[in-house]
Structure 1
Amino acid sequence: MAQVLRGTVTDFPGFDDRADAETLRKAMKGLGTDEETILTILTSRSNTQRQEVAASYKTLFGRDLLDDLKSELTGKFEKLIVALMKPSELYDAYELKHALKAGEYGSSLEDDVVSDTSGYYQRMLVVLLQANRDPDTGINEAQVEEDAQALFQAGELKWGTDEEKFITIFGTRSVSHLRRVFDKYMTISGFQIEETIDRETSGNLEQLLLAVVKSIRSIPAYLAETLYYAMKGAGTDDHTLIRVMVSRSEIDLLNIRKEFRKNFATSLHSMIKDDTSGDYKKALLLLCGEDD
């Protein structure tokens, strides 16, 4: 049975874009800034509603809401609020651009990836960018067996590794098919596919193949792990924390929270509370929702 994906942020009932715009202007006008009002409004509206508030803000005051927020806020809190205000698709594009050294707007994402990467890592990324997986239309057990055997032959049974075989199978087969392939691979080899990837590959390619496998198994579980390691240990990877919390808040953050609690014996809420501070913490906790 397919997992039902649920976010923590939904359309705010009784939404009034003009009232929100006026409240935000009041929060930033004059001496001092009412950060509490800003974070309360912007974490409780959906991204679509935030864009409507921004449009009304410009209509009412002739000012750009994002520019005003940037001028009034600072640090990690500012970065979080700015991320919330970007239209969802533009935010994803922005994050991809900044992950690429040579990334430029107006250029092809594939061209930028090719210019900034190399080898099998590059080829796996290019395959994924085609977004051309087989449709999920039922499982062919013979094909499952064939792919599992091919991966076994390409890795554990081969002197060296046939990376191309991994790239083709991981990048083009359907999600449900690959889940069955991973199970069959374990039966055939006695190893989890992740163990083979760890032994047979290294560097960026290894990280990418592991990310693909974990995402195939469960995107919420993979992102729960991403959030955990962003906060675990000395220092917090705030860029990753903001990116996942913002980009998944309307998609599957409730599912991520559930996987976080299941896999790490603590709640996402508790870890955010322990690892962040100030208005930044308050805003993240509101996005996260209740403590599990």
Structure 2
Amino acid sequence: MPSPRRFLVASTSLPLTAGWGWNLSVYVGLFTVLLVLMGLLLWMLLKQLRNSASRGSVKPFVNFNAKHDAEVLRKAMKGIGTDEDAILMLLAARSNGQRQEIKAAYKKAFGKDLVKDLRSELGGKLEDLIVALMYPSILYDAHELHKAIKGVGTEDEVLIEIMASRTCDEIKDIAKAYKKEYGSKLEKDIMGDTSGHYQRLLVILAQGNREEGVDESRVEKDAKELFAAGEEKFGTDEDKFINILGNRSAEHLRRVFDAYKKIAGCDIEESIKDECTGNLEALLMAVVKCAKSVPAYFAESVRESMRRAGTDDETLIRIMVSRSERDMLDIRAVYKKKYGESLYSTIQEDTDGDYQKALLYLCGGND
């Protein structure tokens, strides 16, 4: 009897093992597919949330077809005359990423460089605006910095605006793009074209290494050190302003500014105006304003670009292009609240023609 029992167990155990082995491999396969699908679903959800959370006026075009758009642009530039309306309406309504796809599709379909064709067909301020839209976002910042540094004389307003307003990650990406495009380091070129305390603060900002969060133990200390470096002494310890304003996070600095006002009896901006001059003053002021509110900083900058004796179109274009997918809705809201009129209406008053139409598309609406 023991032998048959052993035989029965042996004879039934093999199919059981084989059956379970087959089932397990199926389950593992199904589980893997399920994980992949869940990951894809999560990625799509995060992408949708990121797009919906964007405060830009320009969103990715829903029914996007790069090949079709390339054909529309080719038709607008082919033959006698140029259909500027078709060009600006299409490109201003596409996200930066979509414009890069259109460039590639245009090259593939027609064997031509889209940007070169746009330059040859357009002119003046409209050309400047449309060409600016065609740069990848980070490369556009790198291009503007290079032009500001390597042009005739340094365009300090451009250096100040970009270096004070971009996030640490953006600054690092800009530096990489700058090196790749122009073969030199951004920091090195800044040092070769600036000097003094102004140079030192720019170099600190160019590292993109601001501290994160709020250090409660240092808020009061930083406020007191800033007061001692300026209002409390004869002369100014610029290095102290540079170290604190150049390295602390925006959240931390906002707390420091509140503490500073209690100690000094005035806002930090007033002290900077009293204690510093020239480009250093302008850069410190920009850093403070951006720490408080980047949209408010750009609302003020875009206002100034159109309310000077003659419009500063370079600044206007740079702001409208660079902020259209970031925070244009917030800039518009601050602008309306601060100046009592919409950014849209100011653009209407101060510009004209197809250039105006393109700017209004980027603005995105009349508040």
- Is the shorter-chain TM-score for this pair beyond 0.5, marking a shared fold? yes
Kindly report which structure 2 residues correspond to 1:153-192, keeping only aligned pairs within 5 A, or say none. Answer: 153-192=228-267
Tell me the equivalent position of 1:11: 60
Kindly report which structure 2 residues correspond to 1:146-225, keeping only aligned pairs within 5 A, or say none. Answer: 146-225=221-300
Q: Give 4+ residue runs of structure 1 displaced > 4 Å after superposition.
A: none
Tell me the equivalent position of 1:108: 185
Aligned match for 2:126, one of 74, 77, 83: 77
Cα contact 1:120–1:164 (8 A) shared by 2: yes
Cα contact 2:100–2:136 (8 A) shared by 1: yes
CA displacement, residues 16-47 of structure 1 (integer Å, 9 cap, x when unaligned): 00110001100000000000000000000001
Work out the number of aligned pairs and report it.
Answer: 287
Tell me the equivalent position of 2:329: 254
CA displacement, residues 150-192 of structure 1 (integer Å, 9 cap, x when unaligned): 0000000111000000000001111111000001100001010
Between 1 and 2, higher relative CO (CA 8 Å, sep ≥ 6) is seen in: 1
**TM-score, normalised to structure 2's length?**
0.77
Q: Which amino acid aligns with 2:220?
A: E
Q: Which amino acid aligns with 1:126?
A: V
Report sequence identity in percent: 59
In terms of mean alpha carbon deviation, does 93-102 or 180-189 score higher?
Answer: 93-102
- Mapped to 2, the partners of 1:177 and 1:12 lie a distance apart of 37
- Mapped to 1, the partners of 2:272 and 2:54 lie a distance apart of 29
Aligned match for 2:145, one of 85, 93, 96: 96
Question: Shift of residue 5 of structure 1?
Answer: 5.3
Aligned match for 2:199, one of 99, 102, 122: 122
Name structure 2 gaps, 5 residues minimum: 1-52, 155-177
Kindly report which structure 2 residues correspond to 1:279-290, keeping only aligned pairs within 5 A, or say none. Answer: 279-290=354-365
- Mapped to 1, the partners of 2:106 and 2:206 lie a distance apart of 37
Cα contact 2:55–2:326 (8 A) shared by 1: yes
Please identify which structure carries the higher helix content.
2
Tell me the equivalent position of 1:59: 108
Question: Shift of residue 139 of structure 1?
Answer: 4.5
1:131 counterpart = 2:208: yes
Helix, strand or coil for the counterpart of 2:150?
Answer: coil
Q: Which amino acid aligns with 1:217?
A: K
- Mapped to 2, the partners of 1:234 and 1:114 lie a distance apart of 32
- Mapped to 2, the partners of 1:62 and 1:233 lie a distance apart of 43
Aligned match for 1:50, one of 99, 109, 123: 99
Who wins on radius of gyration, i.e. which is larger? 2
1:266 counterpart = 2:315: no
RMSD: 1.2
Question: Shift of residue 234 of structure 1?
Answer: 2.1
